[in-house]
Structure 1
């Protein structure tokens, strides 16, 4: 693949670093960065244990932001600002971080460990003030700073009103055709503001919607004295290090296709630690004395999680990852190299939120024979009960989950769930009051009133709360010129530093490179085969980015890769998807050094987590679905033992 160029010069060529680090000015050693939160509800022990028991760790990082709480916190803040309830905006940060960092503060001070998280959500200043109170409570000397500017609502709405298209990343559609009114917008910030805070002596840095990897990148930039203009290669490598550890134990055995290797040692997995060297390469290890694994497969799995293709974009830099390399260098120790660095794009990702309406669901349990016919009966009866009200549902789906095996051995085995999923902008249609008032239409009543004329064994789920409406958000993911982003670093002494956009940028195609394998092999050359689940020999990982779903599949042995890359074409993935293939675009690329084939299924998740009608709201189960599909596997691979 031809690398991008800037003014005719290969963009991967960068200046060297200065031989000292930002922490002490001494000769460089690696910076040790730990990933101790992959989401709002990660385990509470992580930060305290890491600060207490791993004193060699220089910086603890944590990721608290997702498309779910971005929309929730952003909308909540805008509602309160509109009502002039400014004092109540504090709820727009993630309070769970305070619970986790509180007991860790004495250990952070004792071991001189720094911390950076993005738990500020939509009120970074408010979170910083609460952290300062905790520091004062413990009577220690820790300096707090924060980075903001991710709330770009005013700029985004102004551009929207002027007719800016804001093409969405999954399908390229224009926001002007979106049937919802934007209410807030948040862009993804880079790492320069974080590095600025650390360089000014901050011990604790809180941020809003910085990119998932930015806390790690910012720590490495500070430590090694890098800048995004002079150290493109190093920053790009650190970007992928941050990508691996930002989901915490996803890198150490969580959500791992080979989970059976853990045996019963899976109740307290250790959090990952990355030693990031002066050239940006890193060695991954984990907390000592904990469950979990750090091997090539666990790191490869996380590398393949929630990526878009061979290019990984960030507002500081771009990483090209096709030739990434992983090497086992010790027990629970893996080195990563092979990342190529290119300039950042002139844009950054922006998430635009709108209120979508209200949604609810109703569940029936179906048992035994004739499941499909029973499901069709439920749908006919429910739609008939709805009458003209059916037109008021913007989404109405009848979904079967599961199937009854032949000759089941228990009633539970013979029972499946039918889910009726509904969305509407008419709140009354999903209200509890309408359920009681027979003169008003009610989703729950439409579902339940056929119970006594229903399918044989007609049984509803006893908890009716799911049938009452709750608000949901629509989320539009696009790109926004970095020139409209007003990032600021608020230093411990009160100084505010403006963080400008990068000076050196590179334009990239809207779509990533996509190709079937360039030199397929004769599948007959692998010898006799047996039809078996793909997952007997193939590992992988999948995940969401808005309504896109990525899928990375890889094998453990070099001689299996030619087979994998030959059999796994775009056409084969469509075949394996079966009824779930809606004919939308699928991108494909290969990562030969980790024996992986990667797919990006565009717009596969029905609008993404906030509004999706699907069971797999985060795209995490797509991989396990594909791994259970049957293909012809060479016997010599199966003889090595199934995963």
Structure 2
């Protein structure tokens, strides 16, 4: 077992992150591993269509460009690299890297992970699976009503699958590292898997060292998302000089043998790492108090975040248990066609204007017999006109008429119905100049599912080179030694909380003045974690933000078919919620303007709430 922590530097959180971040992470300081996450659920599906049509290489170009620019430094400094930029064709990218290594005569062993692609197991059509259709990801929770839109495909005669990929763990990567691989190209491994594998290999953990694996899982969660731990997507940025956040550096996790870690970054890079930036990223895209992975379940209840130096924060308190017998599988299929009309209204009488427009368009659709051919029709009003506006733009809102259909023709006919309104529109009506979104566009729908880990055929292939006799070999990674079913996630209001009246008189305050937050998506569900900036507010905050009060504050955004889960993380003074079903099908299939839930936290922070005067006095120096 290594005597020092392993230093793992992340260079990417999405395919659009600059490829040169890999070279920066390799050259600005000493690191043992460079990892990169290039895959979101949507870009994997989009690449799949293009790849199978022969219009895409199947891997992410930024992953290749990063390796190509950095390979000499990586070889010289003996840095190991693990990336999921192989996307749908990790073997292809690995061979390309192996050819580059040979061309430059470098002693670098290249490998790739396989086993995530489920297309050959599921077949080409989702509707034909019948009883073999994998269960929906949320079907294990009896309280959750899976959105109707997520299961609507079951009524169709044919539903072509575009991509189907299981989220693999770290096992195959570890096998590759033990066999001597220096660069490992993966497809759809879980975002944190490269980081877990680096620590697992470095510290020679066993696959039953669950506390350590759970700690490294959270380390991976904290650094895999680009610059989110160093100031990107940070709700507290308004309290600092904006120059700090123009180009934040990328994070590094120093993972110790016990699984605890310190998150830092290279000296001289932008952004910052504080307890608050780490708390925000910790709360990102959680599903409650248990973080699931193919190798371990991480229990988050007792997490502690501690500043240990400038731009250095330690995370501890994570414990682990055996993984569940299933892993997540992302299935995308052709969902039909979408279009949207973006229509503007200004000033006086806005509410009535939108009511008139909706009535006119619905009447025309009925008369034309089109409404029955639309699978979805929503009139979403965005914004509220400013009172006594200082400019016309401040007085303007828009209506997003969002439409879906199985075929493009009904959407084309809807445009004709809209044009029939012609000059019979409301006063001051005007459109955006860009009308491209009004034309029917095919879209990919998302079905998040569960897939048996024992049915996976996961392995790692090491590509031969002249230094090992050109021998290419494949190693099976096997399966976890034991499984443990996921118990019901915790869901509770504050225990032994003091009555709100006991905190004394209150005054109205914008929640964002005292609370930071982060939100995101998990398929159909939206998560939001909120924490008080000052610990003196904690007892009031946990009593105040109950499930009932959270729903009340949501107002029109709450619907009876949703399910709400609430847990607390007292070590970071946070309350965390999951709203099941609010994102519909999720990803490209969500009808919400904020389809990935990233804006929800700041919307919620804009709420005005009653805060005890005595507590505000105690923390006024921080407001």
**What TM-score does the superposition give when structure 2 sets the normalisation length?**
0.92
Where do 1:168-247 residues align within 5 Å?
168-170=136-138, 171=144, 173=146, 178-179=154-155, 181=159, 183=161, 184-229=163-208, 231-247=209-225
- Computed over aligned residues only, the root mean square deviation of the Cα atoms, in angstroms, reads 2.0
More deviation, 162-171/626-635: 162-171
1:393 matched to 2:374: yes
CA distance in 2 between counterparts of 1:177 and 1:416 reads 34
Query: What is aligned with 2:79?
Result: 113
Offset at residue 638 of structure 1 (A): 3.5
Offset at residue 637 of structure 1 (A): 4.0
Q: 2:91 touches 2:112 (CA, 8 Å); kept in 1?
A: yes
**SS of the residue aligned with 1:249?**
coil
CA distance in 1 between counterparts of 2:151 and 2:50 reads 22
1:422 to 403, 407, 423: 403
Q: 1:175 to 1:427 in 2, by over 3 A?
A: closer
1:36 to 11, 15, 19: 11
Moved over 4 A (4+): 136-139, 157-160, 172-177
Q: 1:157 touches 1:182 (CA, 8 Å); kept in 2?
A: no
More deviation, 361-370/379-388: 379-388
CA distance in 1 between counterparts of 2:289 and 2:272 reads 26
CA distance in 2 between counterparts of 1:324 and 1:276 reads 15
Query: What is aligned with 1:84?
Result: none
**SS of the residue aligned with 1:350?**
strand
| Structure 2 residue runs without a partner (length 5+) | 139-143, 465-471
Q: 1:163 touches 1:176 (CA, 8 Å); kept in 2?
A: no
Where do 1:268-279 residues align within 5 Å?
268-279=247-258
Q: 2:191 touches 2:220 (CA, 8 Å); kept in 1?
A: yes
**SS of the residue aligned with 2:106?**
coil
More deviation, 630-639/182-191: 630-639
Query: What is aligned with 1:6?
Result: none
Where do 1:207-606 residues align within 5 Å?
207-229=186-208, 231-264=209-242, 265-386=244-365, 387-430=368-411, 441-493=412-464, 494-509=472-487, 511-583=488-560, 584-606=562-584
Q: 1:35 touches 1:246 (CA, 8 Å); kept in 2?
A: yes
Q: 2:528 touches 2:601 (CA, 8 Å); kept in 1?
A: yes
CA distance in 2 between counterparts of 1:342 and 1:212 reads 19
CA distance in 2 between counterparts of 1:552 and 1:334 reads 19
CA distance in 2 between counterparts of 1:266 and 1:177 reads 43
Q: 1:117 touches 1:207 (CA, 8 Å); kept in 2?
A: yes
Query: What is aligned with 2:89?
Result: 123
CA distance in 2 between counterparts of 1:605 and 1:212 reads 21
Offset at residue 390 of structure 1 (A): 2.0
**SS of the residue aligned with 2:376?**
strand
**SS of the residue aligned with 2:495?**
coil
Query: What is aligned with 1:59?
Result: 33
1:48 matched to 2:18: no
Where do 1:611-622 residues align within 5 Å?
611-622=589-600
More deviation, 408-417/485-494: 485-494
Q: 2:283 touches 2:529 (CA, 8 Å); kept in 1?
A: yes
Offset at residue 341 of structure 1 (A): 0.9
CA distance in 1 between counterparts of 2:457 and 2:50 reads 21
Deviation track 1:45-92 (CA, whole Å, cap 9, x = no partner) reads 3111111212x1111111111111232234445x54xxxxxxx37532
Offset at residue 267 of structure 1 (A): 1.1
1:144 matched to 2:110: yes
**SS of the residue aligned with 1:161?**
helix
| Structure 1 residue runs without a partner (length 5+) | 1-19, 22-27, 81-87, 431-440
Q: 2:515 touches 2:531 (CA, 8 Å); kept in 1?
A: yes
**SS of the residue aligned with 1:552?**
strand
**SS of the residue aligned with 2:134?**
coil
Q: 1:162 to 1:464 in 2, by over 3 A?
A: closer
Query: What is aligned with 1:164?
Result: 132
Offset at residue 139 of structure 1 (A): 4.6
CA distance in 2 between counterparts of 1:197 and 1:172 reads 41
Q: 1:536 touches 1:642 (CA, 8 Å); kept in 2?
A: no
Offset at residue 172 of structure 1 (A): 5.9
Offset at residue 122 of structure 1 (A): 1.3
Offset at residue 466 of structure 1 (A): 1.0
